[in-house]
Amino acid sequence: MSKISLERLQARFPKDVLAVETLPHGDDVARVRREAIVEICHFLRDDPELDFKMLSDLTIIDSLTRRSEAFGGSSRASMEAPPHVRQQPSEAAVRFTVIYQLYSITKKHRVRLKADLDDKEPHLESVSSLWKTANWLERAAFDLFGVKFDGHPNMERIFLYPEFKGYPLRKDYPVNKRQPLVEERNFPDLVRGPGPGPGGAGVPMSQTLVGRINVNRETYD
Partner 1 sequence: MPVDLKETSEAALVPALVTRREDAQSFMEKLVSGSLGWARKYSLFTYPFVTACCGMEYMSVASSRYDIARFGAEFPRFSPRQADLLMIVGTINVKQSVVLKRVYEQMCEPKWVMAFGVCASSGGFYDNYATVQGADRIIPVDVYVPGCPPRPEQVLDGLRLLQDKIQTQKHSLISRDQAAIAEDAGRRKGFFQKILSK
| Candidate segments 4-12, 26-34, 123-131, 200-208, binder of partner 1 by CB under 8 A | 200-208
Q: Residues 6 or more apart from 88 whose CB is under 8 A from it?
A: none
26 binds partner 1 (CB under 8 A): no
Q: Tell me the C-alpha distance between 58 and 54, whole Å.
A: 11
Binding partner 1 (rule: CB under 8 A), the pick from 33, 43, 177, 219 is 177
Report helix, strand or coil for 13: coil
Nearer to partner 1, 11 or 182 (CB): 182
Instruction: Give the residue, chosen from 185, 188, 197, 217, that forms a contact with partner 1 under the rule CB under 8 A.
Output: 185
How many residues at the interface with partner 1, by CB under 8 A?
A: 20
CB atoms inside a 10 Å sphere around CB 176: 16
- Does 201 sit near partner 1 (CB under 8 A)? yes
Task: Give least dist CB 203 to partner 1, A.
Answer: 8
Q: Select from 36, 44, 42 the least CA-distant residue to 9.
A: 44
DSSP state of 165: -
| Among residues 105, 181, 190, 213, the one that binds partner 1 under rule CB under 8 A | 181
Q: Does 212 bind partner 1 (CB under 8 A)?
A: no
User: Segment 153-172, which members bind partner 1 (CB under 8 A)?
Assistant: 159-161, 168
Contacts of 64 (CB under 8 A, 6+ apart): 77, 90, 91, 92, 95, 170, 171, 172
Region binding partner 1 by CB under 8 A among candidate stretches 68-76, 105-113, 121-129, 199-207: 199-207
Gap between the Cα atoms of 59 and 99, Å rounded:
5
Q: Give the nearest distance from C-beta 201 to partner 1 in angstroms.
A: 7
Residue among 85, 157, 113, 106 nearest 21 (CA):
113
Among the listed residues 127, 133, 132, 125, the one whose alpha carbon sits nearest the alpha carbon of residue 150: 125
Residue 133's CB is within 10 A of a number of other CB atoms, namely 15
Candidate list 3, 67, 86, 178; residue touching partner 1; CB under 8 A: 178
Amino acid letter, 192: R
Of the ranges 97-105, 117-125, 135-143, 183-191, which one interacts with partner 1 (CB under 8 A)? 183-191
Residue selected from 184, 188, 197, 217 as contacting partner 1 according to rule CB under 8 A:
184
Report the interface residues with partner 1, using CB under 8 A. Answer: 159-161, 168, 173, 175, 177-182, 184-185, 187, 201-202, 204-206
